[in-house]
Amino acid sequence: MVDGITRADITGAALVLLTNGGLHALAMRRIAAELDVQQSALYWHFDNKQQLLAAVADLVVARVEATNARKWQNRILGLGSRLRDELLRYPDGAELVATAIAFRLGAGRPHQLFTAELTRAGMGDDDARVAASVFVHFVVGYTTDEQQHHQAAELGAIDRLDVATGRFDQGLRLIVAGAEAQIATLDAT
Amino acid sequence: MVDGITRADITGAALVLLTNGGLHALAMRRIAAELDVQQSALYWHFDNKQQLLAAVADLVVARVEATNARKWQNRILGLGSRLRDELLRYPDGAELVATAIAFRLGAGRPHQLFTAELTRAGMGDDDARVAASVFVHFVVGYTTDEQQHHQAAELGAIDRLDVATGRFDQGLRLIVAGAEAQIATLDAT
C-alpha cells in the first residue's frame, strides 16, 4: 500500500462516521481526516464516492443471514426481519443500502439470499429474482420510511410519531402469501 | 394575501423547479426568486420546507386515479402502473413522494386509493391499509430505484444501465396474488 491504508480501513472508518452521524457525516474529507490521510489516498482504493458508499452498504448488510427454520415461509420472514434489524443499526442505514442497490454497486447480498430461499422453495430462477426484488423493495422501503419518520420527529419537523407496530410482519406475510400462490400454481401444472 | 402570492403559486413554482432540476432545485431561495418575493413570504404559507415539499408531493400524485377495470386485481395493477407513471414525470418524483409519506405530511392519495380498492375487494379495513402500504412501498421503492439508477448513469457514476423490463408488472402481480390469497381465506371462514 502506497499510502499505508487498506480498503477495510476506509470502510471501517466510514462505518463509524455513519454510526455517529448518518449519511451526512460520510464526506470524503471527514473519512480522510478520521484516518489522518489526504483525500487522494481514498481515491487510490475507490474510483469515486459512490463506490466507497456501496462498500459501506456491503458492510451494513454483511451480517444478514439465512435462518434455519424448517418452512421456507418462515425462513423468508426471518430473512426480512434480520435485514430490517441490520438496517436499523445505523442512522440512514436503509437509505444508504437503497442507493447502493439503485446504483447496482453494492448491497446485493439480501437479494441473493431471498432468491436462494425462493428457488429452494420451488420457484424458477427468473420468478425468484423478481420475487426477491419485491421483498427487498418492501423491507428497504419500509425501513427507510421508519428511519426518516423518526428523524423528522427528532428534528422537530413533525410533532408526533405515527408508527403502527406489527405492520412490518403483516406486510411481509402478504408477499409470502403471493409467493406461495405462485409456487402452488407451478406445482399444479 | 399580505404578500400577494397564494399557496398554489408557491407549489406551482416549486413543481416547475422540480421538473427542470429535480429535488436539488427545490431550495426556498430559488422558489422565492422564481416568484420574485422574499423567502419570508413563503413562510407565511408554509411553516417549514418539509411542509412545502409535502404540498408539492401532493401535486405529483394528484392525477393518480382509480381505473374502471371490472376485476379488482386489474384495478390494483392499473393503480400501481399509474402511480409509477406520475412519479416518473418528475426527476426525483419518487424520492420526493417517499419523503412526504415518511413525514406523514402529504402524498397520502395513493395509499387511500389502494385501500379503497382492497376494501371493495373484500378485505377488512386494517388488512386493507397494511396491504395498501405494501403496494405503495413497492411502487415508490421500485420507481425511486429506477430514477436513481438512470441518474447515476447520466452522471457517469456507473457505466451502464441495468434495467430489466417487465419486472414491475410481475412484482405487482405477486403482491396481488398475496392479497387474493388473503381474501380467499376470509371468504372461506
Structure confidence by residue, pLDDT tens digits, A58-80: 999 999 999 999 999 999 999 99
List the single residue in B with minimal CA-CA distance to A185: B177
- Which grid coordinates belong to B66? 382509480
DSSP state of B146: H
Sketch the domain layout of chain B as residue ranges: 7-46, 60-188
How far is CA A181 from its chain centroid? 27
C-alpha cell at A118: 425462493
Distance (Å) from the C-alpha of residue A128 to the closest C-alpha of chain B?
10
CB atoms within 10 A of CB B133: 24
> Is B102 in contact with A141 (Cβ distance < 8 A)?
no
A36 burial class (0-12, 13-18, 19+ CB within 10 angstroms)?
Answer: exposed
Evaluated on CA atoms A20, A21, A22, A23, the torsion sign reads negative
- Residues A182, B177: C-beta atoms closer than 8 Å: yes
Q: Is pLDDT at B79 greater than 80 in this prediction?
A: yes
Fold for B60-188, please state it.
Answer: Tetracycline Repressor; domain 2 (1.10.357)
CB A168 within 8 A of CB A84: yes
CATH T-level assignment (fold) for domain A7-46:
Arc Repressor Mutant, subunit A (1.10.10)
CB B179 within 8 A of CB B121: yes
Smallest Cα distance from B94 to chain A, Å:
12
- Which segment of A170-184, B10-24, B175-189 scores lowest on mean pLDDT? B175-189
Tens-place pLDDT, residues B99-130 = 999 999 999 999 999 999 999 999 999 999 99
Do the Cβ atoms of B181 and A182 come within 8 Å? no
- A181 CB neighbours in chain B (<8 A) are 177-178, 180-181
How far is Cα of residue A20 from the mean position of the Cα atoms in its chain? 18
Task: Judge whether B7-46 and B60-188 match in fold.
Answer: no
Q: What is the CATH number that goes with domain A63-188?
A: 1.10.357.10
Best interface-test mutation with B: which of A51, A143, A158 has the largest number of B CBs within 10 A?
Answer: A158
Residue B131: burial class (beta carbons within 10 Å; 0-12, 13-18, 19+): buried
Question: Are the beta carbons of B93 and B86 closer than 8 angstroms?
Answer: yes
pLDDT (0 to 100) of residue A165: 67
Q: What is the pLDDT of residue B188?
A: 77
Closest C-alpha to B79, from B60, B65, B90: B65
pLDDT > 90? residue A110? yes
B161 touches A at CB < 8 Å: no
Per-residue pLDDT reduced to its tens digit, A156-169? 777 766 666 679 99
Q: Cα separation of B1 and B5, whole Å?
A: 7
Chain A touched by B188 (CB under 8 Å):
no
Q: Could B175 and A137 be called an inter-chain contact, meaning their C-beta atoms sit closer than 8 Å? A: no
